[in-house]
Amino acid sequence: MQIEVVADKAALGEVAAERILQAYDAGALQVLGVATGGTPISTYRELARRSDGRLHDIRLAALDEYVGLPADHPGSYTTFVREQIAEPLGIPHGQVGVPRAEADDLAAAAANFERQLQENGGVDLQILGIGANGHIGFNEPGSQVDSRTRAVTLADRTRRDNARFFDSPEDVPHEALTQGIGTILEARSILLLASGARKAEALARAMEQTPTAECPASWLQLHPAVFVVADEAAAASLSP
Ligand code: F6R
């Protein structure tokens, strides 16, 4: 795993957006895998600013979606991807794939999402954030390296951390549909973003500990093309 440490979240967004545009301009970006949450927002903002509409022909594939929220709920990841990524980049609705966690049959929705990823040729570049407990997507501690898209129960810590996106902490769903670790590792390249002191311990475990299900992000060490962009606060616990 290679890493670039930058001063703060704004610089992180600039570096990450530049890498995404380089991939696109080199003809190596048809499907962009997108994380939601707070960390990548500066990246999406920079991407919209720098791309001048030229990313309108790519596809977006989301990592995850809450179970139990209507897709048009303000806290849903379907809403996030539409408002923060697709609309600013001018990407039409038909080019956006988010796991359909509203479906009655979640196993079928998961299988369908995997099939669509395959049909679209797989993810060229996957953007990831990291949870304070080491999760990627919603693969919480205990997630195995060969896991696929599936329904999962969110860790209490994850629900607490994500309460800021909801009116009240009880509104945070207990379950999600998430790409599995095995699914994520099939992306051709991965851009892992980490910002803030709350991520320092998880990032150090992810990069330096022997890969283990206890820190799902550590499975990324098995991927040949992971690039990490971290701000100084998130990089503070890495070995010199
Ligand atoms: C989001 C996702 C999560 C987040 C992680 C960090 O689609 O899958 O893994 O990337 O929870 O969230 P933030 O950036 O809000 O700290």
**ipTM at complex level:** 0.99
| Residue 58, domain extent | 2-231
Coil, strand or helix: which one is 111?
helix
Q: Answer yes or no: pTM beyond 0.95.
A: yes
Phi, psi torsion values for 111, nearest 5 degrees: -65, -40
State pLDDT tens for residues 202-227.
999 999 999 999 999 999 999 999 99
Smallest Cα–Cα separation from 141: which of 87, 53, 217?
217
| Exposed/middle/buried for residue 119 (C-beta within 10 Å: 0-12, 13-18, 19+) | exposed
The radius of gyration of the chain's CA atoms, rounded to the nearest angstrom, is 16
CA distances from 207 to 3, 85, 89, 223 (A): 10, 28, 32, 12
> How far does residue 154's CA lie from ligand 1's centre (Å)?
12
> How far does residue 30's CA lie from ligand 1's centre (Å)?
23
Nearest ligand 1 atom, CA 136: 9
Does the residue 129 lie in any domain? yes
d(CA 13, CA 212): 29
Output the ligand 1 site: residues, CB below 6 A: 35-39, 63-64, 129-131, 135-138
Of 42, 135, 178, 201, the one to substitute when testing ligand 1's pocket (max ligand atoms within 8 A of C-beta) is 135
pLDDT of residue 55: 98
What residue owns the CA closest to ligand 1's atom 8?
137
What residue owns the CA closest to ligand 1's atom 11?
131
The four Cα atoms 160, 162, 163, 167 give a dihedral, to 10 degrees, of: -170
Nearest ligand 1 atom, CA 62: 7
d(CA 194, CA 200): 8
List the CATH number of the domain containing 9.
3.40.50.1360
**Axis-axis angle for helices 41-51, 9-25 (nearest 10):** 50
Residues 6+ apart with CB under 8 A from 234: 194, 195, 196, 197, 199, 200, 203
Does the residue 82 lie in any domain? yes
The list of the chain residues with pLDDT below 70 reads none
Does the residue 237 lie in any domain? no
Does the residue 240 lie in any domain? no
pLDDT of residue 207: 98
Of 130, 152, 181, 203, the one to substitute when testing ligand 1's pocket (max ligand atoms within 8 A of C-beta) is 130
Does the residue 239 lie in any domain? no
Does the residue 102 lie in any domain? yes
What residue owns the CA closest to ligand 1's atom 9?
137
Active site positions, annotated: 64, 133, 135, 140
d(CA 25, CA 55): 10
pLDDT of residue 94: 97
Smallest Cα–Cα separation from 162: which of 153, 171, 151?
171
How many structural domains compose the chain?
A: 1
| Exposure string for 213-239, b = 16+ CB within 10 A, e = fewer | bebbbbbbeebeebbbbbbebbbbbbe
Report which DSSP code applies to 122.
-
Does the residue 108 lie in any domain? yes
pLDDT of residue 123: 98
Does the residue 209 lie in any domain? yes
